[in-house]
């Protein structure tokens, strides 16, 4: 049986917990990014690592995570490198790409997606201020769970939104995507209040 393939576009490892959970569940996870950020693996029995020509493979449980060196400002190259290590069309895309590269990167990886692949797209509410497309996903033909990130925590508005809150919120959206739920929008955290308005 071939492992299901997921493509996670998330910079320097902000969604490592998502990659780890998918790998533990038997997915082959491809992680193109500029820097390698090791997966958070608590149990040493779950993890083995090896290098091979610019790629770092981490076996986690039944699946594995494969880091591929790639840069947002070279989207076609990123897509080529990801395609080389995917076991077939990606059956899930999780993307948290800086707004200035979003269209180019998501456009470049679109041919790598399976026809019915769900998408989880993470975006910052601060980056979306004033944009009409705030709740629109990039791929109209793929069911998309949009995760919109605020600046402050839901739990304690006096502190910034934390990595754990983001990771758990995105995991929830991934679960919904894999259950075949319809496209929806999820907000994590709150917009920072504007003072003096």
Please indicate, yes or no, if residue 176 is contained in any of the structural domains.
yes
- What values do phi and psi take at 49, rounded to 5? -125, 145
Q: Which residues does 162 contact at the CB level (< 8 Å), separation at least 6?
A: 153
**What is the residue-level pLDDT of the chain in tens, covering all 197 positions?**
467 999 999 866 678 889 888 988 889 999 998 876 655 545 444 444 443 444 455 555 567 888 889 999 999 999 999 999 997 999 999 999 988 999 999 999 999 999 999 999 999 887 776 555 555 678 999 999 999 988 888 788 788 888 888 989 999 999 999 999 999 999 888 866 544 44
CATH of the domain at 86: 3.40.50.720
Does any domain span residue 195?
Answer: no
Confirm whether pTM is higher than 0.75: yes
Kindly give the interhelix angle for 102-109 and 75-85, rounded to the nearest 10 degrees. 30
- Which segments of the chain does DSSP mark as H helices, in order? 16-24, 75-85, 102-109, 125-128, 163-178
Would residue 196 count as lying in a domain?
no
Does 194 reside within a domain?
Answer: no
What's the domain count of the chain? 1
Return d(Cα 75, Cα 98) in angstroms, integer.
Answer: 12
């Amino acid at each position: 049986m071939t492992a299901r393939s997921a493509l996670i576009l998330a910079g320097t490892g902000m969604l490592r917990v998502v990659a780890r959970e998918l790998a533990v569940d038997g997915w082959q996870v491809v992680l193109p990014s500029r820097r390698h950020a090791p997966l958070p693996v608590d149990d040493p029995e779950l993890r083995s690592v090896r290098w091979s020509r610019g790629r770092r493979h981490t076996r986690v449980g039944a699946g594995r995570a494969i880091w591929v060196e790639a840069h947002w400002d070279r989207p076609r190259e990123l897509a080529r490198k990801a395609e080389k290590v995917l076991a077939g069309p990606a059956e899930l895309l999780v993307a948290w790409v800086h707004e200035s590269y979003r269209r180019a990167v998501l456009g470049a990886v679109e041919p790598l997606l399976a026809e019915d692949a769900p998408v989880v797209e993470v975006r910052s509410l601060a980056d979306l201020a004033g944009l009409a497309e705030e709740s629109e996903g990039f791929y109209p033909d793929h069911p998309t769970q949009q995760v919109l990130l605020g600046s402050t925590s839901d739990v304690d508005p006096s502190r910034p939104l934390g990595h754990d809150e983001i990771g758990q919120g995105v995991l929830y959206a991934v679960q919904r995507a894999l259950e075949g739920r319809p496209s929806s929008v999820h907000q994590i955290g709150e917009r920072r209040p504007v003072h003096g308005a």
